[in-house]
Amino acid sequence: MTDQHAERRAPAKPPARSTTRPSPGEDWTQWPTYNAATLGFRNYWYPVVWERDIGDKPQAVTLLGEKIMVAREGDKIYALKDRCPHRGVPLSHGRREFPGTVSCAYHGWTFDLESGNLSAVLTDGPESPICGRLSVKTYPVEQRLGLVWIYVGDGEPHPIEQDIPAELLDNDHVMGGKIDLRAGNWRFAAENGFDEGHAKYLHNTALWRLFKVMPAWNKTRVAEVGPWLIRVQDEVHWEADYPGLGTWSNKRWWKRMPLPDAPGKGKSVNPVIAGLDIPGFVSIRLPGLLRVAYPHFIHYEWYVPVDADTVRYVQMMVRFESGAKGLLFKFKYLSAIRWLFHGQFTAQDAWMVDVMDAPPEKLYRPDLSITGWRRLIEKARPKPQPYDPASGSPRA
């Protein structure tokens, strides 16, 4: 059971910043792989759109800076490079004249959706000599969790199951989700998600936390468990005295005290979540997937690179239940959670990602979560999508 909302466009971008300003990540020289990943990493499966939003009419998406056309033929969805090789017109403007094909809107060059081969040229007759001599690039596509996944990489793709958390594939669940295009580089979005410090201050005004107290500060470390990097809280402080300033606290009389310091430690925990044995609430993994595990549900965020200045923000809240409990969660999601959490709460994150102006940066103790994420990437050495700063597009 899913709740799938149409993708929403990012707000209009402000005037371009000075071209003399370093591009995002330009001087992160101690993190060379991360520094090069303006457009993300190749050789991964990425969620791009809800299945239900793809019909027969071609649509355009951008992934890792590559412009892609997607269209449905029956139960299957296809993806082709969104450019007719004739005069460069986007195939996403095209028509579906024949089954299993798309025809360029300009001169009727008609391409097979499966192979990308030029099957016909409608303005040059059935014996057009150019037919069979060229093709457009195709992309591997899979459909899982109500989402369309596209692989950008080299050679044959690995099984998509390697890029999706096993608990989502192996257990019954109900979910609600939302996809937005948001301003900002994908790395800022991923770092914000895994950032140790911001939630206690930025989000203490969020309606989602109106009746739930948040710590004033923590002492935290990070731990690698399989593909995940996990934030582990060693100390939780609910208030603190600052000499000459006063006491800082997020406590309020109407706020209830918090959850245990890790999922699975409370008295009432979903058995699927307890079985994951996660030592901390928040985890991140390549290519840019965040997991926030609560006792009864898990929130996932995919930070999907669109271009250097835009991220596709895929949010999914999952409860591992069915039947009446699943229906109750569905009702809660539709009536409140999608507005409070997937709306106002994460909109605060979107605000910060949009206005962030780093590097240069001066890091502090809680930023060990961010530097841990960067070190994980340097250790794994994924392949960055080549980037041409002059054009803002993938480098050929």
Q: Tens of pLDDT along 242-286?
A: 899 988 776 665 556 655 544 445 568 899 999 999 999 899 999
Contacts of residue 122, defined as CB under 8 A and 6 or more positions apart, other chains included, come to 97, 103, 107, 108, 109, 110
pTM (2 d.p.): 0.88
Rounded Cα–Cα distance for residues 46 and 142 (Å): 10
User: How long is the chain?
Assistant: 396
Which pLDDT score is estimated for 23? 47
What was the pLDDT predicted at 347?
A: 82
Domains 1-43+171-396 and 46-157 share a fold: no
Sign of CA dihedral 328, 334, 336, 337: positive
Confidence (pLDDT) at 198: 75
CA distance 54 to 79: 11
Least confident of 42-46, 239-243, 299-303: 239-243
Look-up of token digits 């999914």: 316
Q: Give pLDDT, residue 352.
A: 83
Asked: is 46-157 a CATH 2.102.10.10 domain? The reply is: yes
CATH of 1-43+171-396, one of 2.60.40.420, 3.20.20.70, 3.30.465.10, 3.90.380.10: 3.90.380.10
In SS3 terms, the chain reads as CCCCCCCECCCCCCCCCCCCCCCCCCCCCCCHHHHCCCCCECCEEEEEEEHHHCCCCCEEEEECCEEEEEEEECCEEEEEECCCCCCCCCHHHCECCCCCEEECCCCCEEEECCCCEEEEECCCCCCCCCCCCCECCEECEEEECCEEEEEECCCCCCCHHHHCCHHHHHCCCEEEEEEEEEECCHHHHHHHHHCCCCHHHHHHHCHHHCCECCCCEEEEEEEEECCEEEEEEEEEECEEEECCCEEEECCCCCCECCCCCCCCCCCCCCHHHHHHCCCCCEEEECCCEEEEECCCCEEEEEEEEEECCEEEEEEEEEECCCHHHHHHHHHHHHHHHHHHHHHHHHHHHHHHHHHCCCCCCCCCHHHHHHHHHHHHHHHHCCCECCEECCCCEECC
Distances (CA, A) of 383 to 33, 35, 340, 379: 8, 12, 36, 12
What is the per-residue pLDDT across 120-136, written as a single tens digit (0 to 9) for each? 999 999 999 999 999 99
| Structural tokens at position 182 | 């948001």
The pLDDT tens digits for 358-369 are 888 889 899 999
* Domain extents in the chain: 1-43+171-396, 46-157
Strand 246-249 versus strand 310-319 pairing type: unpaired
Instruction: Find the Cα–Cα–Cα–Cα dihedral 316, 320, 326, 332, rounded to 10°.
Output: -40
Tell whether the model's pLDDT for residue 208 goes beyond 90. no
